[in-house]
Chain A
Amino acid sequence: MMQKPAQRLTLFLLLAPAILWLGLLIVLPHVEILVLSFSERVAPRVYAFGFRNYLEFFTEPLYWRTFARTAFMSILVTALTLVLAFPIALYIARVAQGRVKAMLLLLCLLPFWVSELVRTLGWMMLLRETGVVSYILRAVGAADQPVELLYNDGAVILGLVYGGLLFMIVPLANALESLEPAVVEAGFDLGGSRWTVLRRIVIPHAMPGIVAGCIIVFMLTVGNFATPVLLGGKNGLWFTEQIYAQFITRFNWPQGAAFGMLLLLLSSAIVWLGLRLTGQSLGTTLKQA
């Protein structure tokens, strides 16, 4: 009983960094933009409480269309990433052995630790009209004119999928790795075909990894800025660009804050929906990754 106050103090000291971190860098800033998003400008340097920033979002088709487009494309990118990454993760987790396995995983990791901008630069150099692909196409005679592959939605999707792959592969491989080989063998032994085993054993087992990977890829995609800006064309706007524009080129912080809140809502809602549909929980899911 004597130790009680001392223990309290220790606990408090241990908790202090976490509380400072979460309080000062996460919670209060979000409260701030929430408050900010409800302030409207009535005159220079005079602001009042109001919903105009949100009204603006709903009444201006431009904004909600961008929003919907971002959401839709992010889901598309997530799905594509999942489909592309699954065979790779399966290979790494269940076929490759020892050194090869470690190598394959490390090779996957490397491009992603190099800056996103370097990767995007690479794609720009490959895809642009004066770029490598166009050059090669002309050199082999497949095209007689320079081909522009950059500045369209396809390029954006390509760049985003590329950027999301690792974050899909790692949780998937982790989940698949934990599947006991004997369970898969039992699946075959009892007469299952490859497809049956994949559908009834491998995929259900990998579900936490799939959900984790999808959540992370979706988050990264929806919140991405550089890739859509640099690869995207004159027709595509990403919602983060709207936030950036409101803050940086319009100096309209309240509007930007409202957009920020909406983006946060969108991502939280889709994550929540994903978890609900697959019956997973956030904590275990993120630990997977």
Chain B
Amino acid sequence: AEKLRLLTWADYVPKDVMEQFTKETGIEVEVTLSNNEEMISKLRATQGAGFDLVQPSQDRIAGPQTEFGIYKPLDLSKIKSDQFIASMLEATKKNTTVDGKVYGVPHIWGTDGLIVNTKTAAKVADYNDLCDPAIAGKASFRAKRPALIAFAFANGMDPFASYNDPKAYTAMMEKVGTKLAECKKNVKFFWDGKDQLLNAIRSGEVVAAMAWDTGGWKLNSESADIKFVAPKSGALGWVDTFAIPAKGRNDDAAYKWINFNMKPEIAAKVAATAGNFTASNGADKLMQGKLKDQFAESFPKAAIDNIKWYPAVPAGIEEIEGKILDRLKAGS
């Protein structure tokens, strides 16, 4: 049978959606779970072979494409653009354009913020509060670039403004690095996988963490004490996309999958399992009430306006960040 090899995030492909797709098109979907870095590194190792469709975040397309040429330009005529929230589609297209060609369209979006156990760490309201001695040894964040960006904002800097000035950016990151290093003693571990963090919060090993909104809401439904909080200095907004690898072998199936997924009823289902929001136009009307309430609680109007959306990452920026992160992990 025809096959679609999909490289994506956990929870983005509910079983029934996959089955429905196979039923409708006769195409089987083979799912490999991953994260941004691994997606890129896998494609980099194969020069863009091995998968037919991938889902990196929108900011991680232009840089790697310039450097390694691992994606194929999208044939926008094959995509039903009316299924997308127009503003989001435009923003994503803009961010994923290299040499005038578009490489990505949006799928799921969400934010990074704080998951707080309000009973034991009520005071945590911004990223810097993770470093509060009161919760020493019980905080956590990922030792990845979102942490750098977040702490930069929390400490009054604007990293996105310096994206194209490596020198300034390096200086800024050094500062952030120092700040994080100080904070490190507060950290139980740098979390890697979502479930790892959620388990630790459930068991009380961790009481406050920088994490994705979806995890926070999931925990909130289990225990009302745990809340997802939009930090004072602003949640970080991300958009996961659809992109086609340079040596994808089944572009037709890929486009079919994109269009299928962006149908409002399908998108709603996916959003429900992922616990996030979808770029599908009209799906929000089909969403369950609970998530909407949780979103409303976490994001008052001001907080929504304060969301910092990632612009495309220019090539070279990640090297600067990488070193800071390595230092953070290695230093004591």
- A residues whose Cβ falls under 8 Å from a Cβ of B: 44-45, 60, 62-63, 65-66, 129-130, 146, 148, 151, 233-237, 242, 245, 247-253
Contact = CB atoms under 8 A, between A and B. Distances in A.
Interface in B182-203: 184, 187-190, 203
Interface in B12-59: 37-38, 40-41, 44
Interface string B302-332: 0000000000000100110011001101111
Given A44-B315, A151-B189, A234 B184 contact: yes
B73 interface: no
Interface residues on B, range: 20 to 34
Contacts of B288: none
B205 A249 contact: no
B35 to A, nearest CB: 9
Interface stretch (B64-72, B238-246, B260-268, B272-280): B64-72
A250 B321 CA distance: 10
26 contacts: A44-B315, A45-B67, A45-B69, A62-B330, A62-B331, A63-B326, A130-B203, A130-B205, A146-B205, A148-B188, A148-B205, A151-B188, A234-B184, A234-B187, A234-B189, A234-B190, A235-B331, A235-B332, A236-B330, A237-B326, A237-B330, A248-B37, A248-B38, A251-B41, A251-B68, A252-B319
Interface in B278-316: 315
Contacts of A146: 205
A44 B189 contact: no
Contact of A251 (B67, B184, B190, B332): B67
Interface of B: 37-38, 40-41, 44, 64, 66-69, 137, 143, 184, 187-190, 203, 205, 315, 318-319, 322-323, 326-327, 329-332
Contacts of B322: 245, 249-250, 252
Given A129-B203, A130-B205, 10 more contacts: A44-B315, A45-B69, A234-B143, A234-B189, A235-B184, A245-B326, A249-B38, A250-B322, A251-B44, A251-B67
Contacts of B68: 45, 251
Nearest to A245: B326
A62 B323 contact: yes
